[in-house]
Amino acid sequence: MFIDSMFVDAMNTDQFSYSECRIKLAVDDWELRQAQKLRNQVFVVEQGIFQTSDHDLFDIKAHTLVATTGMLGIPDAVVGTVRIHEQEPGVWMGSRLAVDRSFRSDKGLGKALIRMAVCSARAQGCKTFYANVQLQNLGLFQKLGWLALGEVNVHGVEHMFMQANLDLYPIAQDPSRGFVHLINQPRHVASIRELA
Ligand SMILES: CC(C)(COP(=O)(O)OP(=O)(O)OC[C@H]1O[C@@H](n2cnc3c(N)ncnc32)[C@H](O)[C@@H]1OP(=O)(O)O)[C@@H](O)C(=O)NCCC(=O)NCCS
């Protein structure tokens, strides 16, 4: 009874509908479509790195990971994405990390996607994981234990070539199911979940 009334209270807040995201491998068409739309929004419209589309040959073999939100546990929107591909046996690359503008900076989605990228590559035999990281994001990756290996120019933009410390990323057991990432949790809902 007590818990029910707390949830009703939480549902009356705007934040409740976005209180959790699932970070997972994209398997459904709508997830892949929305991930591509978000990538275009970020890398074409916002950053102007590409003129019309950021799609390239790596997309043929890459796996797309997404952060989805929804209502009452039913996912209906992609708000973050990243892709991974195997460059040579055991060597994986992450790229096209993007979070919807209104979900950035304090919700931890970028970090969660980076975690899922490396953990799901490990599930497929990854022994080394690299990414070319835009310089403004260097601090974020360094905080996550990545090693800076040297500056490179990619698509006319300065990047840092970086390597993940795989010891910090356990193998993902089931990437298509992924994990739940809590965001914007009203304090009382978070404490109820911790008790459950
Ligand atoms: C880079 C990006 C994916 C980060 O995603 P995010 O969801 O905002 O990141 P998180 O919420 O996980 O934040 C991680 C940390 O970085 C900090 N941070 C994130 N963006 C920041 C910003 N623009 N300015 C200052 N700090 C920032 C957060 O405060 C947080 O710090 P904390 O660990 O001390 O709490 C997102 O900003 C983005 O999509 N940018 C545009 C595309 C892009 O640059 N892609 C990456 C190419 S390498």
pLDDT of residue 71: 81
Which one, of 169, 183, 179, 182, lies nearest residue 24 by Cα? 179
Q: Which atom of ligand 1 is nearest to the CA of 137?
A: 1
pLDDT of residue 192: 38
* pTM more than 0.75: yes
- Asked if 188 contacts 19 with a C-beta cutoff of 8 angstroms, the reply is no
Cα–Cα distance measured from residue 141 to residue 137, given in angstroms and rounded to the nearest whole number: 7
| Residue minimizing CA distance to atom 43 of ligand 1 | 98
Cα–Cα distance measured from residue 81 to residue 118, given in angstroms and rounded to the nearest whole number: 13
pLDDT of residue 17: 46
* pLDDT 10s digits, 38-81: 999 999 999 999 999 999 999 999 999 999 998 877 888 999 99
**Residue 77, token pair as written in the block:** 């929107």
The answer, yes or no, to whether any atom of ligand 1 lies below 6 A from the CB of 185, is no
Which one, of 193, 180, 172, 173, lies nearest residue 69 by Cα? 180
The answer, yes or no, to whether any atom of ligand 1 lies below 6 A from the CB of 21, is no
pLDDT of residue 184: 59
**Residue 85, token pair as written in the block:** 């591909």
The answer, yes or no, to whether any atom of ligand 1 lies below 6 A from the CB of 111, is yes
> How do the pLDDT tens digits run along the chain, 196 residues long?
333 333 334 444 444 445 889 999 999 999 999 999 999 999 999 999 999 999 999 999 999 999 999 887 788 899 999 999 999 999 999 999 999 999 998 889 999 999 999 999 999 999 999 999 999 999 999 999 999 999 999 999 999 999 999 999 999 989 999 999 988 554 444 333 433 3
**Residue 162, token pair as written in the block:** 């970086």
pLDDT of residue 105: 87
Second CATH level (architecture) for the domain 2-195: 3-Layer(aba) Sandwich (3.40)
Query: SS3 of 147, please?
Result: strand
pLDDT of residue 106: 81
CA of 103 to the centre of ligand 1 (A): 10
CA of 91 to the centre of ligand 1 (A): 25
What distance separates the 2 farthest-apart alpha carbons in the chain? 59
Q: Tell me the helices (H) and strands (E) count for the chain, helix number first.
A: 6, 8
